[in-house]
Amino acid sequence: MQLLALAFLAAAPAVAAPDAEIRAAAERITPAVVAVRRDLHAHPELSNREERTGHLVAERLRDLGLEVRYPVAKTGVVGILRGGRPGGVVALRADIDALPIDETSDLPFRSQAKGVMHACGHDAHTAMLLGAAEVLVGLRARLPGTVVFLFQPAEEGAPEGEEGGAPLMVREGALDDPKVEAVFGLHVGSWASVGQAGWSDGPIFASSDTFTIAVEGKTVHGAQPHMGLDPIPVAAEMVQALQLIVSRQIDGRQPRVLTIGRIQGGTRFNIIADRVTMDGTVRTHDATVRAEIKARMARTVKGVAEAHGTTATLRFLDEGNPPTVNDAALAKAVGVPALQRVFGAGAVRVEPQMVAEDFPFFGQKAPYFYFLLGTRNDAKGIGSVNHTATFDVDEDALPLGVRALATLAWDFLRAGGRRGAGMAPR
Ligand SMILES: [Zn+2]
Ligand SMILES: [Zn+2]
């Protein structure tokens, strides 16, 4: 019985999925997808300020005949495509924001917004998801269920003091009506070449928590430190002690990184500083390890400060990003087979990375599968890493991304939604 069910899952999509139609449609609309990507690239907008982008997406989805909710989570858009046949509900997600980076390339469609750049490829994500919507609209009459398109703002982090991103999409009910049963998403990058897709059936991205530490001292002449309270050696000890958490207190088999990226204190060589502040990031692939490190950090900061008669505060900037951990059953039943059909031998299992995403917040509502789309092309000189001023994507990857997204949605619905994909209800 079990074997029969598995055989059905393995065989059914290969027979029934309209792979050739999806491929032909994706290739036919590639010039339009490229044009949208270039337009977005030329007009990048920072997190929670994606006014033009959100408007463009909403208009495009309305033109395609989708139900549109806009704005959601400030500047985001939710598009709903109801297929001609009954079935489950699947969501596809793209993030839409850019970064505060000054683009240095001489591309004809380089950023026209000074100091703002699509340096993480979210322009490509948005264009590909619009492309997938168009492809699936073409198959609407046969589509066995509903596809929800999530265009999410502020993946790179809302400005301080503002809400935003995936958590706000979730709080505003983007996955609730209709109730989404699974979410698929991707990220472009130069870690793989065009034609490749990287997948995992477990962790793929890390958690990330941004923190700031303030050590309070008492300023005095640099010749008489005993009359004040010098926070600089205390901060130095704290940096060392925090590294001992990740190197000595956490199981060595668990990936984890603790980085202090900024340290600041003092005004002059012969004046004891009154305060030192430090900013950093913590990354793991496991929710338990993440909580453990954060608790130990609090203990360490307090303990080191107290040992020297100073006070210090540790503050995490916001709720942080959970680790991105793919649902193993969804990966096996839908995610990996779909990528193997689109990318052939180019679909490869990848080791989890230490970069992070806010995508896993969607996991509060439904299981998910997230994969990496290779956009590197050494022959074209495209290889800069994400978040740099020369980042670019090989646009030959765009039709592959469109096909992958459309195929994942189709396969999930074709398999009969969550139950058909062999996943426990929750
Ligand atoms: Zn990024
Ligand atoms: Zn990104």
Full 3-state SS string of 144-184: EEEEEEEEECCCCCCCCCCCCHHHHHHHCCCCECCECCEEE
Please tell me the distance between residue 109's alpha carbon and the centre of ligand 2 in angstroms: 20
pLDDT given for residue 416 in this prediction: 86
In this structure, which ligand is nearest to the CA of 187? 2
307-356 tens-digit pLDDT: 999 999 999 998 899 999 999 999 999 999 999 999 999 999 999 999 99
Name the 3-class secondary structure at 74.
coil
- Determine the Cα–Cα distance for residues 342 and 61; give it in Å rounded to an integer: 25
Question: In sequence order, which residues have a C-beta less than 8 Å from that of residue 28 and are 6 or more positions away?
Answer: none
Closest ligand by atom to 393 CA:
2
**Ligand 1 centroid to 383 CA: how many Å?**
16
Closest Cα partner for 361 from 165, 145, 100, 133? 165
Question: Could you state, in chain order, the average pLDDT of each consecutive group of 10 residues for the chain (426 residues)?
Answer: 40 63 98 98 98 98 98 98 97 98 96 98 98 98 97 96 96 98 97 96 97 98 97 98 98 96 97 98 97 98 97 94 97 98 98 96 98 98 96 98 98 86 63
Could you tell me the distance, in angstroms and rounded to a whole number, from the CA of residue 260 to the centre of ligand 1?
Answer: 19
Separation of CA 349 from chain center: 18
H/E stretch holding 300 reads helix 287-307
The token pair at 121 is 């490829």
- Cα(151) to centroid(ligand 2), Å: 13
Q: Tell me, what's the pLDDT at 309?
A: 96
Structural contact between residues 217 and 231, judged by C-beta atoms closer than 8 angstroms? yes
pLDDT tens, residue by residue, 133-178: 999 999 999 999 999 999 999 999 999 899 999 999 999 999 999 9
For the CA of 387, the nearest ligand = 1
How many A from CA of 215 to the centre of ligand 1? 30
Ligand 2 centroid to residue 120 C-alpha, Å: 5
Looking at the whole model, is its pTM more than 0.75? Answer: yes
Alpha-carbon distance of 267 to 264, in angstroms, equals 10
pLDDT at 403: 98
CA of 86 to the centre of ligand 2 (A): 34
First to last CA, the chain: 23
Ligand nearest to the CA of 95: 2
Q: Is 9 helix (H, G, I), strand (E, B) or coil?
A: helix
DSSP 215-258: EE-B--BTT-GGGSB-HHHHHHHHHHHHHHIIIIIS-TTS-EEE
| Closest listed ligand to the CA of 185 | 2
Which ligand sits closest to the CA of 166?
Answer: 2
What local confidence, expressed as pLDDT, does residue 422 receive? 67
The helix/strand count (H/E) of the chain reads as 12, 14
Query: What's the gap in Å between 234 CA and the centre of ligand 1?
Result: 33
Q: For residue 154, how far is its CA from the centre of ligand 1 (angstroms)?
A: 10
Residues with CB under 5 A from ligand 1 (ion): 120
Whole-number Å distance, alpha carbon 349 to ligand 1 midpoint, is 22
What lies within 8 Å, CB to CB, of 13 at 6+ separation is 337, 338, 341, 411, 414, 415
Q: How far is the CA of 116 from the centre of ligand 1 (A)?
A: 13
Instruction: Say how many Å lie between the CA of residue 387 and the centre of ligand 1.
Output: 6
Spacing, Cα 96 to ligand 2 middle (Å)? 9
